[in-house]
Chain A
Amino acid sequence: MGMDFLTSAPIVLISFLSVLCIVVDALTPKSERITFYFAGFSMLAAMLMAAFTMPNTGTAFNGMITTGGVATFFDILFCMGGLLTLFAARPYILRENVEHDEFYTLILYAVAGMMVIAHAHNLLITFIGIEIMSVSFYVLAGYFRSNTKSVESALKYFLLGAFATGFLVFGMSFLYGSTGTLDYTVMANNIQSGMINFPMLLSVGTGLLIVGLSFKMAAFPFHQWVPDVYEGAPTVVTGFMSTAGKAASVSALMPIAYAIIGESGHQVAGLLAIIAAGTMLVGNISAVVQQNIKRMLAYSSVAHAGYILMGFVANNEKGMTGIVYYVTAYLFMQLGAFVLVSLIERNIDKQLELRDYAGLSKKHPVIAALMAFFMFSLAGIPPMAGFFGKYYLFIAAIESGYTWLTIVAVISSMISVYFYIGLVVQMYFKDAEGEGIDAHQPGLAGLTLTVATFFVIALGIMPSTVEQIARSFFK
């Protein structure tokens, strides 16, 4: 038992610290600064712990939790996302005069929930993790409580999210009914050896699980909540939800894909392929007509879920590696883009139209250049990180015989180029009407942008670093 605490140190630590964070918060008046630093250091500590425990692969606490391996890689990713969000969020909420210490606590909670998801080795733990994360998100989305859009966003997210969670639990109960267990390894063994009751129940359960996770991941046809929620939520929070949040849902699907889908064969892969194709096409085509930059990025985030799903369709070593790589690259480029949006945004929901960005490159050359840089990366133009992610997933899909899916992905990438460079057209080629817009001083957000830029370049030029680590998990 003592060893269990050591090997699962990151998750133990973050759970303990996030509970402690509330206590600290309650005991100290006017504690925004303290909470900010507390949350930051908690994530930093968890990140270090995750790095240390990465080689100790195994399970802990009676097989409830996996330790080491890809789970710890995701830990690092979530903590990184959390930290970057924290840095960008502080100047943002200070500007809007709504700094409360709960904000930082909630981000810490969300990260803790995500880490629980990544470490889950049991459907129940996955469920608990998803709930911790989602509830934090519901509150964060409605954080600007005097803004109706933000409140609407929170309510919508909460109602639909709760509905999706229902599907998730329902699916889990079916799986339990069929296999008699909630443990991933046992479940996989039972399915493989045919020790299941009512095979029908298994398929229905898997289907319901996919529905629930598709919702969390913002995949077609369960993506309709995304634009409204992403538009209404505070911009930095949107960045956090759409990157780390998506990565967390992906990490939830990962063991399920390995244990259940891997065994029940081609049917589910075909279903996922259709979902992936639909997600990519619908996301990108809808993004083309958006006028609001947050909505555009929301639809683009839907599309990226589709690319990630390609890895699950392939469901082989390359596919899984590709997913881990893609999620990493995506985290930095999408978060970077949202942080830039938050710098330009005024009074919560002004200056968010694409045409507001006209002539930005003249007034704010650095911000415009960074935005263009993230857009090119999202569009998958080499040598930025986004390109290699796509390349890898294409290889995975072709290797498992899904050439048609790769072609769909290519076509949707072509469509996506149109709207990503559309923003560049506004910033560089159009002239501003009148004065042009002002951007805020980045302050701490500058740190976020520097780190994100660094990783987008580094991952693009030296992809093999992360790729080798990721591949070692799936040998």
Chain B
Amino acid sequence: MGELGYLAVLSSLFVPLVGTLAVGFIDRNQKKAIQWTTLVFSLISFVLSLPLLTSFNLSDSGFQFEINKVWIASLGVGFHLGVDGMSALLVVLTTLIMPIAIFSSFDAINKREKEYYAMLLFLQFGMTGVFLALDTFLFYVFWELILIPMYFLIGIWGGQDRIYAAVKFFLYTVVGSLLMLVAIVWLGYYAQQNAGGFTADIVKLREIAPTIPSHIQQWMFLAFALSFCIKVPLFPLHTWLPDAHVQAPTAGSVILAGILLKLGTYGLIRFNLELFPQASVTFAPILSTLAVIGIIYGALVAIVQTDVKKLVAYSSVSHLGFVVLGIFSMNQEGVQGAIIQMINHGLSTPMLFLCVGVIYERRHTRDISEFGGLTSVMPRFCVLFAIAMFASVGLPGLNGFVGEYLTLVGAFQSPYLHSWWYAILSATGVIFAAVYLLWMFQRVMFGTNDNPKNHSLQDVTRNEMATLIPLVILIVWLGVYPQSFMKYSAQSTKSVVEKIHKHHQGTMQASR
């Protein structure tokens, strides 16, 4: 069984790259061929990535299916891939969301299809790479690689102010990541000074980095955290997100919300918690406070939005706040909750964006006041939209509830946060979520259908159903039986939490 896992690691990374090249060789007028080739490649990578979960050894807390080839010997850089429970889940989430995003673009994208689909596959290559990389250098390469296709996706196929949004997205991300680069270099240098050789290997750095003196560890922590918090995005670094979301095409928003934002929270766990346990304890209250502010602020701003897409974008700021709060609770419930919340948000928000896409395709507007009473003309759509909306609200029985509940429990019990207020204040975010989502839903779907333009709208087509139904199934599955997903990350989370605890105890004793 193990061999299948290795195959899954390689194929989920390289199948999209091969697909990019394949699309490059198709004549640009063969639009159907381009679309279907892209879809087939993304489906292949999805199927081939499944052994990451099926062959996964649940009792192992380390990395599995590791592939390690020397890349740049003198700098200890290796082409090192592998997964633990968290990254296995996120890789499969990526390979799942991509075919959906691709299929949803078939009707929506009508210019320069060749570049568009090549960019999508290339983007998938970069994102899987980030989740699979076990080498800081390799990680950084993939991290930056994502920028290029995303930048073009927003800039070429986006809405009115796409150029502004694309440049803003690019600059925000680069500013964060370059400081991370300095920190990565510094880590390698520290390893050379103290562990006998320059290295970029994450597995080695996990042993070395926690021994860094705490005042330097704090700087390292901040350099990494800045980059990841921009990506998450954590308040007050979130301002690029609504612009990017509103301007991006539907598939772009789906990928952005479904996967790209998780890169940030993934990084926070993989690097900040695992490499700098002491600094994590030091900064946990600050980052948690920002997370709480983000939860409430995102929700409040979402309430007053008139653009449905912008509303969903701000709801992401709020939801990702829960993830960050869970991560910096740094106990089993919190971190597990954060991971499951990442998956949840990666399912329900893409679905919301797809639903927004459905009405946008029909009316070419997203202004809430333009709609009303759509239930009467689009009954099936109403049901699907409602499921997405309730999943996002956190209705028990659907996926959103599990994650939010666990992160709140985590924050409540966290030994590092020392206050109930984090949990209590964030809980209001759940209430606000109900307010802005239900109110939006009511204004769009219910009431009287008095706008003549809305009288003859077509209900969801079969193609649109095909993109939405898989998400519905997973949303319900996760809501009813979350354990079938949470079991993957349980062991790795446990080891992270214990490690932080151990280092914390160590410093407490040292200071005594």
Contacts and interface: CB of A to CB of B under 8 A. Distances in A.
Contacts of A183: none
B447 to A, nearest CB: 39
Given A382-B140, A425-B166, A430-B163, A410 B74 contact: no
Contacts of A414: 171, 174-175, 178
A425 B167 contact: yes
B262 interface: no
B212 to A, nearest CB: 14
B186 A398 contact: yes
B7 interface: no
B115 to A, nearest CB: 8
B170 interface: yes
B189 A429 contact: no
A464 interface: yes
Given A383-B141, A425-B163, A391 B147 contact: no
Nearest to B188: A395
Tell me whether chain A's interface is mostly helix, strand or loop, or mixed: helix
B326 to A, nearest CB: 31
A417 interface: yes
**For chain B, which range describes its interface: under 10, 10 to 19, 20 to 34, or 35 or more residues?**
35 or more
B181 interface: yes
Interface stretch (B150-158, B372-380, B452-460): B150-158
Nearest to A471: B74
Given A410-B181, A429-B156, A421 B73 contact: no
A399 interface: yes
A418 interface: yes
Contact of A382 (B144, B182, B198): B144
Contacts of A399: 189, 192
Contacts of A365: 115
Interface string A390-431: 011011001100010011001001100110011011001110
Interface string B169-190: 0110011001101100110110
A428 B162 CA distance: 12
Contacts, number: 80
Given A428-B156, A429-B156, A376 B181 contact: no
B174 A417 contact: yes
A393 to B, nearest CB: 10
A399 B181 CA distance: 15
Interface in A164-203: none
Nearest to B73: A464
Contacts of B175: 414
Interface string B47-72: 00000000000000000000000011
Given A410-B182, A467-B72, A429 B147 contact: no
B237 interface: no
Interface residues of A, number: 32
A382 B145 contact: yes
A446 interface: no
A391 B185 contact: yes
B178 A410 contact: yes
Interface in B91-150: 115, 137, 140-141, 144-145, 147-148
Contact of B185 (A382, A398, A424): A398
B87 to A, nearest CB: 20
A224 interface: no
B171 A429 contact: no
Nearest to A421: B170
Given A381-B147, A414-B174, A464-B73, A428 B155 contact: yes
A407 B141 CA distance: 19
Nearest to B152: A428
Contacts of A467: 72, 74
B75 interface: yes
Given A421-B151, A464-B73, A387 B188 contact: no
A225 to B, nearest CB: 30
A382 B141 contact: yes
A421 B167 CA distance: 8
B162 A410 contact: no
Contacts of A421: 151, 167, 170
B419 to A, nearest CB: 35
A468 interface: yes
Given A381-B148, A429-B162, A395 B182 contact: no
27 contacts: A381-B144, A381-B145, A381-B148, A382-B145, A383-B145, A391-B137, A394-B185, A395-B188, A399-B192, A403-B186, A406-B185, A410-B179, A413-B178, A414-B174, A414-B178, A417-B174, A421-B151, A422-B167, A428-B152, A428-B155, A428-B156, A429-B155, A429-B156, A429-B162, A429-B166, A430-B163, A471-B74
Nearest 9 interchain pairs by C-beta: A382-B141, A429-B155, A464-B72, A410-B178, A429-B163, A394-B185, A382-B144, A417-B174, A395-B185
Interface of B: 71-75, 115, 137, 140-141, 144-145, 147-148, 151-152, 155-156, 162-163, 166-167, 170-171, 174-175, 178-179, 181-182, 185-186, 188-189, 192, 198
Given A394-B181, A417-B170, A425-B155, 19 more contacts: A365-B115, A381-B144, A381-B148, A382-B140, A383-B141, A391-B185, A399-B189, A403-B182, A413-B174, A413-B178, A418-B167, A418-B171, A421-B167, A428-B152, A429-B155, A429-B162, A467-B72, A467-B74, A468-B74
